[in-house]
Each structure stands twice: as structure tokens, then as C-alpha cells.
Structure 1
Amino acid sequence: MSRIFNYKNFLKLNSGIMLLLVAITLFPFIYMLAVSFSSSRAVLAGEVIFFPVDFNFTAYTHMLKQSQFWTAYKNTIIYTSVGTSLSLVLTIMCAYPLSKKNLIGGSIIMKVIIFTMFFSGGLIPNFILIRDLNLYDKMWAMVLPGAISAYNVMIMKTFFQGIPEELKEAARIDGLTDIGVLIKIVLPLSKPIIATIGLFVAVWLWNEWFISLIYFKTDAKRPVAMYLRNIVLGAMNTIKNGKEVDSTAAKTVPQTLQASTIMLTSIPILCVYPFVQKYFTKGILIGSVKG
């Protein structure tokens, strides 16, 4: 009886902690959403907490009327689509051979891959490499440096090793080559891990701005994260220095601009997440534990 009572108390405590964590996680997002739709007066007065005050679209209007914003958004969509696809292809090509127990030198290759997780060339050598490869100020400078991740390779390799060998052997008996086994057997069974790694890479590429700051000199080629960063810093410097601004920007403050940029950057990824959520937990758990 006491054991049942203790278990019920544990469930209540666990539920309470989970609800607290959910509230802590959601509050910044809800607050930023409320600020982005509130007036400058309400924000400066500290009246905004959970709901917008003096509801308006001024900050969004100021952002969305800029043609450069849409150019940057297009760039981000291209970088994210190409980069995610390329990363998945390269990760699969690397992880599948390494998942085979009879691969000659597989353990050595895996140790070299793990080594790269702890040691890298550094910022300046990477910049020199990009420049010497004639990738500076080109799309591939955004896509190639992070096209393959040692962590993602390890997770996918472990997932592939969890697929029963009997399925692969049966496919080979039916006449499939290794490539055929990969395409017709392994990949269809690997949707959870593919969706998980794809989400990791897509989120990283969508939010990445530092690479574009280093490797791009043309503003028209930079992603939306970099553009929105410049908008926020520009608005803050403008207000700080007391410079003249247009009538729309004059009605905004750094907090509302910052909140609107966060919303515009976050919403696309939030829209994608529900479609891969059912694979996410399964993929990362199986990929981490099996093998």
C-alpha cells in the first residue's frame, strides 16, 4: 500500500516538475510574441507580460516592407534545402559502410572521425581553406563547412547497426547489391533517424549567421539570420545615437524589433517540427542506444 502511495506521489511530483519546465520553456517565446505585437509605449513602460498591449503590426510592417529581407529569406531557404539534403546524403554515405562489422579499417576510420569532434583547424585556417578553394562569397561557403558532422555520423551508424542483418541477407539472396539493400531496405527503415538528423541540420542552417559574416562580402547573398541581426543592431544604434529614422521605424524600439525578428526566424522551423516530431524521439533514442 505504501509503495502504491509513494508511486502516486512520485507521479505527481514528476508531473509538477514537467509542467514547471514547460512553463519556463514557453514563457520567453510567449513574452517575445506579445512584445512583437505591442506598442513601443507599452514595452517601455513594462506593461507587456503574457498578452500584447495596444495591439499593432508596426514592427512586422517595418521588417516585411524591406526588399532585402525577402532576398535574405530566399537565400536562407536555398541554403537550408541544399545544405540539409547534402548533409543527409554524405552522412548516409559515411555511416552505412561504417555500420558493417567486416569493414577493413572501420575502427581506425571511426577513431579519426571521433578525433575531429575534439580538435579542429581553427577559424583562420578554415578561412584560408575556403578562400583557396575559391568558395569565398559563394553559396557553397555556407553549405560545405558543416555538410557532415561526426556526431550525426555516429548516431546514424549506430541506428544502421540496429537493423537486423537477416533482412539485409534476405535482400542479397534476392539479388540486391549493397546499394540496392541501402535504398530498398535500410533507408525505408531509417526514417526516424533521417528525420531527426535532417531537423538538426535544418535548424542549424536556418539560424546560422556567423559563417555568412566571415565568408560572405555581398549583402545580397547573406541569409535572413544575418539580415535580421543587422536590422536589430542597426535599430539599437540608431536609437542610441539619436539619428533620424523613417516614420515606421520611429514608432518602434529595439525590443519590438528584436521580438519580431525572433518570431520571423522561429516560425518556419516551428511549422516543420510537427511533421517530424513523431520520428524525433524514436530516432535519437534508438540511434544512441542500439549497437
Structure 2
Amino acid sequence: MAVKSKKTRIGDLIVAFLCVIVILVCLLPMVNVLSRSLSSPDALVRNEVLLLPKEMNFEAYKMVLGDSKYTWSLAWTAIITVIGTCLSMFMTTICAYPLIYDNLKGKKLINAFILFTMYFNAGTIPLYLLLKDLDLLNRPAVLVVPYCLSVFNMIIMRSFFYGIPDSLRESAEIDGAGPVRILVSIYLPLSTPVIATLSLFYAVGRWNGFSDALMFMNKREYWPIQLLLYNILNNMTSLEVATQEGFTKPALSDNLKAATVMFATVPILMVYPWLQKYFITGVHLGSIKG
């Protein structure tokens, strides 16, 4: 076993120290919010909560879980996240797969048009007018359809497809397999890492999204959990709105807001451990191929 030099060991220690700092910067705010959600309202008023809960109580979580608007909003967000992720992966796959064929007519022009949309877009107002003309405003589909394809993610998948040997496709073509059969039987089974990675990208983006619902959805029953949380955190200046959301006293409002943040954050965090190994492999392979 090679012995590391003194400079290498010092470099490793510096890198480890920086990693610990980054981890703490990311983790401590969430620990603080968790502690606030589990502390008593009086402890929050006295500003005693930092990293550990004070006077532990679960009143805020009981209120959140017992209120149908929170539970339905969470369930609705899960529904549109699953549907949106499946649709996005379908669109990404059928867009990326044809572009690996060298004999595709107009391939360079198609690539140019796709890349153009990555850097330039008409803006929010034309998009709003388009969705209005398509009669999608205030309909559930408006939370899924407009952003169902990411050009960046499509490029990652296309690059991954390029890394699969052409000999596999040519062998299947000799046996009489068509493009769809080749995609289903060869490319998709070999693309599990990139599929899991892009699925995670799409799922997290959809779960955390609220701007599209804020602009295009007025029906409260179709608000995703992030938009509900956004309104809760930003409408406390109105006593009427605060009372409507269940904030009947200042102390309880801070406690309940922290619980709502955890309520909206934890479900998507639980997905990461299941996809972590695919996530690392997929990002690595998708970035070096093509």
C-alpha cells in the first residue's frame, strides 16, 4: 500500500474539513426547523430553540395531519409528481432516442432547434396566453404538461445512449428488430442509472415547484403543497388569512409553520436513499459520454 505524502494528507484534511462545513451549512437549518416544529409555542416566543427542541410537543403535527387541506395538498402533490415524472421520462426518452441515429434526416437541424429552446424562450406572458388559448388554465394538466421536458435532461440521456455500443443495435437490426423493440429490449434495460437520475431530477423539480401553480392555478383544491406552504409563510400579515390557515395565536403560528415545512420536505427526502447509487452512477456516466 502506497504511503501518502505529508502534502497529500494535508490536502485530504482540508477537503474533509470543507465537506464537513458544507454538510453543516445544509443540515443545520433543517435541524433548526425540526426543533422548532417539535418545541412548545412558549419556547419559540422566548426564542430558546436553536438545535434541540424545548418543551417537546406534537401539537403542530396533530393540527397539520388532522387538517384535510394539508393532507390532500400533500397527496395531490404526490399524484402530480408521479404523473409528471412518468410523462417527463417518456418525453425525454422518445426525444433523445431518435437523435442517436446517424441516418435521421434533418438531425442537425432538429438538434439546433432543441438547443435553441434551452437558451431562449418567449417568457411568462406569452406562455400564459398560450395556455389560456389551449384552455389549460385552472386545470390539473397545467401543472404537468407545460414543463414536461427538460432539454438539459434530454441531452444527458442522449449522451448516455451514445455510450451504448452500436454493435448491440446493429445485431438486433440484423435479427429483424425495429427501433421500438431495440429501445425497449436493449437501451432501456442498460440505462437504469440515467433513468433513475433523471427521474429524481424531474420528481424533485415537480415536488418543489410552486411558481407554475401560482401563475396558472386559482383553484385551491389543486394547489400543491409548496404553494400552500408559500401562502402560509407569506400571508401572515393578514389576520383574516392567518385565522383561515389555523394560526390563531402568534406563538402557535411559528410552531405550525415549522411543522408544515417539515411536512412538505420529508417525503421527497425519503426518495434519495433508494436512488442514491443510481444517482451517482448516472450523473458520472451521463457527463463523460457523447
Q: Same fold (TM over 0.5)?
A: yes
Contact 2:42 2:251 (C-alpha < 8 Å) held by counterparts: no
Query: What do the CA deviations read for 1:178-218 (whole angstroms, capped 9, x no partner)?
Result: 11110011001111111111111111111111211221121
Structure 1 vs Structure 2 CA RMSD: 2.3
Residues 204 and 243 of structure 1, relative CA distance in 2, 3 Å threshold: closer
The alignment-based identity, stated in percent, is 35
Aligned match of 1:169:
170
TM-score normalized with structure 2 length: 0.92
TM-score normalized with structure 1 length: 0.92
**CA apart distance, 1:160:** 0.6
After TM superposition, list the pairs within 5 Å mapping 1:6-45 onto structure 2: 6-45=7-46
Aligned match of 1:122:
123
Query: What do the CA deviations read for 1:43-94 (whole angstroms, capped 9, x no partner)?
Result: 2322212111111112222222221222222221221111110000000000
1:224 is aligned with what amino acid?
I
Q: How far apart, CA to CA, are the structure 2 residues paired with 1:244 and 1:123?
A: 33
Q: How far apart, CA to CA, are the structure 1 residues paired with 2:79 and 2:115?
A: 30
Aligned match of 2:77:
76
1:262 is aligned with what amino acid?
V
Q: How far apart, CA to CA, are the structure 2 residues paired with 1:244 and 1:62?
A: 13
Contact 1:137 1:217 (C-alpha < 8 Å) held by counterparts: yes
Aligned match of 1:58:
59
Contact 2:95 2:154 (C-alpha < 8 Å) held by counterparts: yes
Residues 144 and 242 of structure 1, relative CA distance in 2, 3 Å threshold: closer
**CA apart distance, 1:242:** 11
Q: Give structure 1 stretches of 5+ with no counterpart.
A: none
Contact 2:93 2:154 (C-alpha < 8 Å) held by counterparts: yes
After TM superposition, list the pairs within 5 Å mapping 1:183-222 onto structure 2: 183-222=184-223
Q: How far apart, CA to CA, are the structure 2 residues paired with 1:242 and 1:95?
A: 46
The aligned length equals: 289
Query: After the TM superposition, which of the residue ranges 124-133 and 42-51 deviates more from structure 2?
Result: 42-51
Residues 48 and 243 of structure 1, relative CA distance in 2, 3 Å threshold: closer
Query: After the TM superposition, which of the residue ranges 83-92 and 259-268 deviates more from structure 2?
Result: 259-268
Q: How far apart, CA to CA, are the structure 1 residues paired with 2:61 and 2:238?
A: 19
2:162 is aligned with what amino acid?
Q
Contact 2:45 2:251 (C-alpha < 8 Å) held by counterparts: no
Q: How far apart, CA to CA, are the structure 1 residues paired with 2:255 and 2:7?
A: 48
2:111 is aligned with what amino acid?
M
Partner SS for 2:122: coil
**CA apart distance, 1:234:** 4.0
**CA apart distance, 1:224:** 1.6
Q: Give structure 2 stretches of 5+ with no counterpart.
A: none
